[in-house]
Chain A
């Protein structure tokens, strides 16, 4: 009996596929499992095997065309069989019947895995099976589960698989598939140089930042913030606070960011294969410069803590970050990052998003400068520039701008930070 071959779903987020080549001509016979078709997804060209033995009776979609998944692309049946497309549900507007087997049998091809100990049979909907803890670790570490070989039953990705994956990944240059950080192919002629071996942290930064810039479409919104009121408040508070609780400009900024993030949950979010992950907590990561590279120190629940508590925790964390004494769980779990180069007299700069987070805030120095006041006069003012880099897959310019307005408002009316 003739059956339809449909465009298979070859990946978690695949909506359509481009039929790149038919390997069989109409009338040619095939065995079950033989490759009959090449399909190009946005990730790779995948071989589609025949879901049954038979003869290719008819081609419905020619090579070169893109069609949504489930669309009938060909008919397979017995030699000499007459094809009645209407009875197969293809004629006119009738909804095509999907031959699910084709999709299922090609899942493996979509996610090639090296000799997993158990037969891998991903769930029918293309979902990657993973244990809850593996899911959580993957989310925290920004790992695409489809890249991880699952060794649990049914190919389930379990904790040890994530650990193995991270180990392999951090061993670095060994893994070719994501091309190494592009380096110029020419040699600077004549000039002498020495080579400094890549440390683990440099490799990680290189990989993560390259991945971020390549995958996350960044856009940037800069705002000029009047820091007069915030600096006045800070002076007032620090006059009465003990040394250990003294509040820095950065603490005011992170507290203001937390207030604004609560208002704009899409900025406090992460891009993931399953969808946009709106984070429940506001955990702010701080980029801390060390001699050999950057680390992130994460202050948790900044929105729920008092300014003094945030200041105290941040001071402690950053100090330990500089000494390399942070615990591993103090470096992960961030939902938004702040990078502050104000102490280096930087006016403004833009930062690269720390994936999978949706945004990062780059903060410049607080500076005295001439400003035009409401009466049109030039007076001495106190200003700071902040720039958000945001992932356009998660949020848009208007939303990022509104977030920046909320941040500005919180800093310009800083009593809000004390509530």
Chain B
């Protein structure tokens, strides 16, 4: 085990996979000479050369389109889109091509593509650069969507994504890069895509989250413990395919659930999880499922307003007390 930041874990996963398989290459805006906007690929250009580290024009449709073509042709591209907000410009390449080619052409081709991108707010980047539209991408069959929270999961899931023969959208969170955790040293440490993880065992209430929301949920769980409430916290890690089994098992035990996500509430990840729980564990619920999510506004630039609009630890604590009928 080595303690490292999420940034280092992602960087290490990329590096290891590039050494492991020469078909793996990276491309994106400012990833080469500049080392990446979030410094994930710093040093890669010198280490692997221009052929495998490609700076691209500012043209997201081109990046994902070209990467999709390269994947179909037999390479294993990892394309970086500077922020998830810019991925909308590549929507057609991603959801109409990458996600559907394998299906529409009877499996004649595979699309082993990874699109790495950065989502989330909280850094005063304004409404168009701070979004958490993860659920939109998780809507499309054919596209796997991964959004880890911890260093170990970031490394293990990115390696799994690169080794996967389907297109995977790998969503990093702008405020989690500095967060530290223990990461296994094994070069073949892989976290399977589509497996949720109980990050904290508890018996009184189930908190389901992922990415930044997981960090908040674990903080909330610690505070709740001081009040005698034992919360179980589950990390979805993958949004598609979504693994609800640990969630359902947990709800059968606790009878109540709060879902935490940074994105907007409407049509969100929480809505999907809540719906599945009513389908699979209806007879076990003791209270309506509560969703903690971003206020339904374009995220404000003003720092105070931005923090008010984003889900916070006290919001989670309140929701937990709500479903426990403690108010």
Residues of A within 8 A of B (CB): 131-136, 151-153, 158-160
Contact = CB atoms under 8 A, between A and B. Distances in A.
A136 B284 contact: yes
A152 B325 contact: yes
Contact of A160 (B282, B284, B285, B325): B325
Contacts of A158: 286-287, 325
Interface of B: 255, 282-287, 325
Given A151-B325, A152-B325, A159 B286 contact: yes
Contacts of B285: 131-133
B280 to A, nearest CB: 12
Nearest to A136: B283
A132 B325 contact: no
A280 to B, nearest CB: 12
Contacts of A136: 283-284
Given A136-B284, A160-B325, 12 more contacts: A132-B282, A132-B283, A132-B285, A132-B286, A133-B283, A133-B284, A134-B286, A151-B325, A152-B287, A153-B325, A158-B286, A159-B286
A77 to B, nearest CB: 43
B274 to A, nearest CB: 13
A158 B325 CA distance: 9
Contacts of B283: 132-133, 135-136
Contacts, number: 28
5 contacts: A132-B283, A133-B283, A133-B285, A134-B286, A159-B286
Contacts of A159: 255, 286
A108 B321 CA distance: 28
Determine chain B's interface SS by DSSP, over half rule: loop
B266 to A, nearest CB: 23
A158 B256 CA distance: 11
Nearest to B252: A133
B261 to A, nearest CB: 24
Contacts of B284: 132-133, 136
A132 B289 CA distance: 12
Contacts of A132: 282-286
Nearest to B251: A133
A133 B325 contact: no
Q: Which 3 A-B pairs have the closest CB atoms?
A: A159-B286, A136-B283, A131-B286
Contacts of B282: 132
A133 B285 CA distance: 5
A332 B118 CA distance: 51
Contacts of B286: 131-134, 158-159
For B255, B282, B285, B325, the residue with the greatest tally of chain A CB atoms inside 10 Å of its CB is B325
Nearest to A151: B325
A151 B283 CA distance: 19
A135 B284 CA distance: 9
Contacts of B325: 151-153, 158, 160
A132 B287 CA distance: 8
A417 B86 CA distance: 66
Contacts of A133: 255, 283-286
A288 B287 CA distance: 37
B284 to A, nearest CB: 5
Nearest to B282: A132
A344 to B, nearest CB: 39
Nearest to A134: B286
A199 B283 CA distance: 33
A151 B286 CA distance: 12
A159 B203 CA distance: 14
A98 B109 CA distance: 69
A133 B325 CA distance: 14
A133 B252 CA distance: 9
Nearest to A158: B286
B204 to A, nearest CB: 11
A160 B255 CA distance: 11
For A132, A135, A151, A153, the residue with the greatest tally of chain B CB atoms inside 10 Å of its CB is A132
A134 B282 CA distance: 11
Nearest to B255: A133
A220 to B, nearest CB: 34
A160 B285 CA distance: 12
A128 to B, nearest CB: 15
A151 B324 CA distance: 12
Nearest to B278: A132
A153 B325 CA distance: 8
Nearest to A139: B283
Nearest to A152: B325
A135 B255 CA distance: 13
Contacts of A152: 287, 325
Contacts of A135: 283
B44 to A, nearest CB: 53
Contacts of B255: 131, 133, 159
A298 to B, nearest CB: 17
B245 to A, nearest CB: 19
B5 to A, nearest CB: 42
A134 B284 CA distance: 8
Nearest to A130: B286
Contacts of B287: 131, 152, 158
A131 B284 CA distance: 9
A18 B317 CA distance: 51
B288 to A, nearest CB: 9
A159 B282 CA distance: 14
A142 B284 CA distance: 17
For B283, B286, B325, the residue with the greatest tally of chain A CB atoms inside 10 Å of its CB is B286
A137 to B, nearest CB: 9
Nearest to A131: B286
B90 to A, nearest CB: 43
A113 B282 CA distance: 27
A132 B251 CA distance: 12
A66 B64 CA distance: 78
A40 B73 CA distance: 83
